[in-house]
Chain A
Amino acid sequence: MQLHYLTAHQLHDMLVSKQISAEELTRAVFDRIEQVEEKIRAYVTLTQEQALELARQVDKARLAGETLPLLAGIPVAIKDNMCTKGVRTTCASKILYNYIPPYNATVMERLNEARAVMLGKTNLDEFAMGSSCENSAFFTTCNPWDTNRVPGGSSGGSAAAVAAGEAILALGSDTGGSIRQPASFCGVVGMKPTYGAVSRYGLVAYASSLDQIGPFARDVTDCAMLLNVICGHDPLDSTSAPYDVPDYTAFLSGDIKGTKIGVPREYMGEGIDPAVKEVIQKAIDVYTGLGAIVEETTLPHSEYALPAYYLIAPAEASSNLARYDGVRYGYRAGEAEDLVNMFMQTRSEGFGAEVKRRIMLGTYALSAGYYDAYYNKALKVRTLIKDDFDRALEQYDLLLGPTAPVTAFKRGEKVDDPLQMYMVDICTLAVNLAGIPAISIPAGMVDNLPVGLQLIGRPFGEGDILRAAYAFEQNTDHHRKLPE
């Protein structure tokens, strides 16, 4: 077996028993990157020298007899919207093409403490706005299962990197499905934690009330390990929750007898590809076979999630992205005649079409005379959606359904039709509006393309989700399938 396709927990054992060194492992992954990156294009920036140096330090520490954290020496890819001190952080946007942050995001600090090895920064839809990675200002990332297809988005680079063996683990961010949907398309595990579980400090904001950082991994155990590192209160983030982070690997017992699982009928109805539905149905059978109680339930306001999301997220984005004006850093349009023109030209040239579309949507939604009809109404709908989940999760331990209504689509297929593109996220958006955790795990294939199963849990119920995900994984082998 090649090192680059092993899991973090397997590699950890090999590192501890000194079968391999961290440097060897890092080199192996960079060899793999060299081999396939031309086809996949998962990375915006690679940090090979820095990675090898870190790996050598880990090896040295281990030789010196130090007991190291579980992720010490494990290669990790970082979505390029998380600030990395001294390493370019672009958000896949022309407007930040040359931006080098002077500080680390809190998740980076945690990874450094855990002595994980950053491989580089992965591609995304510009400012995390998109579902296919096609909105990157630089290039499109390809799906390792079929390079004519998209990896999903916006964290497509991180998902593709893990799927293609170009990283062992990765971090993504999820505002409306941006971790789970690419995880589904690329056949890996991806989790969006509860809003407030992981610090957003240093995550370049798209929609502050929805953004959440989370892990990509090749199996549920790795996902739990990475979650252990990144979760927890951060005094630098007022929206991060003060709570005792459990050891998430302790939930991986495999026993889910008696667990009550609800299947919202809205997630298995119209708009869901029948072949995808079939895969999910088989997953339900697995759970039933394991002694879980699976029943149909309802989230009656589901159809309003998408319109509410496309008012709230753009409204916040219109304000969050106002700072990119060419004054202090990043791209600045040349030779503007005055200040206002400098602002306008910089932003016209620096942002891509989808980002501009959302800034305009959001500006409109917040404007005098429209605020109540749009933004405020959307907030009310958000409350109704939250109530739906509260009610359903009072009755059920978990909710289950497809992560995405379809499998990975072809590049270019939806770029000219934003609404079609937005529809790809109908199963994931509502979870962000409710602020609750959810995972996508590989559940089967349709025409040799992966299908993700989504499990949704209660606030801070990551452990319950992982327990059920792990039980499924133990009784199937979908997660072991590898792309060509």
Chain B
Amino acid sequence: MAHYEAVIGLEVHVELKTNTKIFCHSSTEFGADPNHHVCPVCLGLPGVLPVVNKKVVEYAVKAGLALNCQIAAFSKFDRKNYYYPDLPKNYQISQYDLPIAEHGHLEINVNGANKYIGITRVHMEEDAGKLVHQGTISTTPYSLVDYNRTGVPLIEIVSEPDMSSADEAVAYLEKLKAIIQYTGVSDCKMQEGSLRCDANISVRPVGQAELGTKAEIKNMNSFKALHKAVSYEIERQIEVLEDGERVVQETRTWDEARGETFSMRSKEEAHDYRYFPDPDLAPLVIDREWVNEIKASLPELPDERRDRFVKVYGLPEYDAMVLTGTRELADYYEQCVELYNNPKLVSNWVMGDLARMMNVSGQEIQDLRISPHQLAKMLELLDKGTISGKIAKTVFEEMFKTGKDPGKVVEEKGLVQISDAGLIDKVVEEVIAANPKSVEDYRAGKEKAIGFLVGQVMKSTKGKANPGLVNELLKEKLGK
């Protein structure tokens, strides 16, 4: 494979989190009964006209600015004409040659190396509805149409073909998602379809200037799927070339179950969308002052925040990058640090136990029961020696599951660390008496044997003995 390189560009659709649709007053709420959030305008009934939702333009500008784009002074909407039952007008109002934002970039980090990925354009468009088939699309006797999603505002973000591996594609999408989430213009939930991604992929021999023929891959519904689909497609195309054949320009869909891409339609069948300016909508003249206001309203974005975490908290670059991966995580971390001023220790807990347990339970930061305040209090108990590091893990688990205060967990479970030398002394005596062999080994110079004895003390105190104290007492009693 070493003598081929892949060229990858992504087209990402993001649903904007406005209350109402892009061209009418219907609600954008997700999950309502079918055809509940519709009106004559988004149903495309005869005679209706679109009126652009100013919030949509504002959000698109905001996203464009966050992606380092130039914002157009003059932009317009065009009609993209094609027939499909989920598109009530049989054209989609989109933007063709004068998108709202162009010429941006973002920075990714893969295996410690930074790379700029160019962003060609950001444009606004209306979402289509949803077809509900009875079985599969090819065998369904009839299909139902749900127009709730019709007219929900989207921005499409088109990257330059600057990525060359599945890792880079995933890193790009992760960064893009983080940036958009930071701006607050979208939830970017892949499962709910508020973030959708298509990939354009081609391969060429290393050193060849000319691009290979590309295929467009659709239907990747998670970061994992994106990684698998891109890897698969790169290998597939290399195999095609190795076999002396040519890659066909086509649209392919990712089949998650089979773990492969397969052809949907070739270029010969490709649509001529007959784009033309929508005569129902006046062109947008974007006021500079307004753009500046939106710019001023941008929050701190992931890269800036990462740099600040390194500088202000003295965190390693890697920690800072992971912690700023989502706005919620970074906020959570900072709230903890504010209450408990040991940034690296907090980072270890957030990136370690918290991340691990979130992974297992599938929870997001916003679903967490354990508050930053509670985590900080637990770390204080640890500092004071009320609980041991080991017990802290147990306490944390309980807090994660129940949302109880650390003090309460410690009390309920009787987990207070035993630092009373008298109490421990008694147990140490018992352990020494019961394990003459280990005692002998230790005295004979086997330093390791003391570990076993400590373990025995901890065991009989149910882990509550202060391990430092146990160590100290043992060494003292066993002499030299």
Whether a CB of chain A sits under 8 angstroms from the CB of B353 is no
Residue of A nearest to B143 (CB): A339
The one of A83, A343, A366 in contact with B46, judged by C-beta atoms closer than 8 angstroms, is: A83
Give CA–CA (A202, B45) in the complex, Å.
9
Of A31-39, A231-239, A279-287, A436-444, the one touching chain B: A231-239
Inter-subunit contact A83/B47 (CB<8 Å): yes
| Complex interface bits, B144-184 against A, C-beta within 8 A gives 1, otherwise 0 | 01000000000000000000000000000000000000000
Give CA–CA (A318, B274) in the complex, Å.
10
Inter-subunit contact A319/B51 (CB<8 Å): no
Inter-subunit contact B47/A203 (CB<8 Å): yes
Inter-subunit contact A201/B52 (CB<8 Å): no
A45 CB to closest chain B CB, in angstroms?
A: 15
Contacts of B280 in A (CB 8 A): 205, 208, 238-239
A to B contact number (C-beta, < 8 Å): 95
Contacts of A201 in B (CB 8 A): 47-49
Contacts of B279 in A (CB 8 A): 207-209, 239, 316
Given contacts A200-B49, A343-B83, contact A102 B40 (CB under 8 A): yes
B34 CB to closest chain A CB, in angstroms?
A: 14
Inter-subunit contact A322/B91 (CB<8 Å): yes
Whether a CB of chain A sits under 8 angstroms from the CB of B88 is yes
Interface residues of A in 54-108 (CB under 8 A from B): 82-83, 89, 91, 96, 99, 101-103, 105
Inter-subunit contact A101/B47 (CB<8 Å): yes
Contacts of A207 in B (CB 8 A): 279
Inter-subunit contact B88/A323 (CB<8 Å): yes
| Complex interface bits, A203-238 against B, C-beta within 8 A gives 1, otherwise 0 | 111011100000000000000000000000001111
Give CA–CA (A323, B150) in the complex, Å.
14
Give CA–CA (A102, B40) in the complex, Å.
8
Most A-side CB within 10 Å, residue of B40, B49, B89: B49
Of A145-153, A324-332, A398-406, A474-482, the one touching chain B: A324-332
| Complex interface bits, B21-49 against A, C-beta within 8 A gives 1, otherwise 0 | 00000000000000000001001111111
| Complex interface bits, B249-279 against A, C-beta within 8 A gives 1, otherwise 0 | 0000000000000000000000010111001
Contacts of B145 in A (CB 8 A): 327
Whether a CB of chain B sits under 8 angstroms from the CB of A407 is no
| Complex interface bits, A177-209 against B, C-beta within 8 A gives 1, otherwise 0 | 000000000000000000000001111110111
Inter-subunit contact B83/A322 (CB<8 Å): yes
Give CA–CA (A328, B51) in the complex, Å.
22
Inter-subunit contact B83/A325 (CB<8 Å): yes
Given contacts A239-B282, A319-B276, contact A91 B91 (CB under 8 A): no
B282 CB to closest chain A CB, in angstroms?
A: 5
Contacts of B13 in A (CB 8 A): none
Given contacts A238-B280, A319-B276, contact A82 B81 (CB under 8 A): no
Whether a CB of chain B sits under 8 angstroms from the CB of A395 is no
| Complex interface bits, B270-294 against A, C-beta within 8 A gives 1, otherwise 0 | 0010111001111000000000000
Contacts of B51 in A (CB 8 A): 235-238
Whether a CB of chain A sits under 8 angstroms from the CB of B85 is yes
Give CA–CA (A315, B78) in the complex, Å.
13
Whether a CB of chain B sits under 8 angstroms from the CB of A373 is no
Inter-subunit contact B281/A82 (CB<8 Å): no
Whether a CB of chain A sits under 8 angstroms from the CB of B343 is no
Contacts of A101 in B (CB 8 A): 40, 45-47
Whether a CB of chain B sits under 8 angstroms from the CB of A7 is no
| Complex interface bits, A361-386 against B, C-beta within 8 A gives 1, otherwise 0 | 00100111001000100000000000
Contacts of A238 in B (CB 8 A): 49-52, 280-282
Inter-subunit contact A202/B282 (CB<8 Å): no
| Complex interface bits, A140-178 against B, C-beta within 8 A gives 1, otherwise 0 | 000000000000000000000000000000000000000
Give CA–CA (A105, B281) in the complex, Å.
18
Give CA–CA (A213, B88) in the complex, Å.
25
Inter-subunit contact B49/A319 (CB<8 Å): no
Inter-subunit contact A205/B276 (CB<8 Å): no
A264 CB to closest chain B CB, in angstroms?
A: 27
Residue of A nearest to B131 (CB): A339
Contacts of B17 in A (CB 8 A): none
Inter-subunit contact A82/B90 (CB<8 Å): no
Contacts of B48 in A (CB 8 A): 201-202
Whether a CB of chain A sits under 8 angstroms from the CB of B79 is yes
Given contacts A238-B51, A322-B91, A375-B276, contact A99 B46 (CB under 8 A): yes
Could you pull out 23 A-B pairs where Cβ atoms are within 8 angstroms? A101-B46, A101-B47, A102-B45, A201-B49, A204-B47, A205-B280, A235-B51, A237-B51, A238-B280, A239-B49, A239-B281, A315-B276, A316-B276, A316-B279, A318-B81, A318-B274, A319-B274, A323-B46, A323-B89, A325-B85, A329-B45, A339-B85, A367-B274
Closest 8 A/B residue pairs (Cβ): A322-B90, A209-B279, A208-B279, A366-B274, A202-B47, A204-B46, A83-B47, A204-B47
Q: Which B residues lie at the A interface, using CB under 8 A? A: 40, 43-52, 79, 81, 83, 85, 88-91, 145, 272, 274-276, 279-282
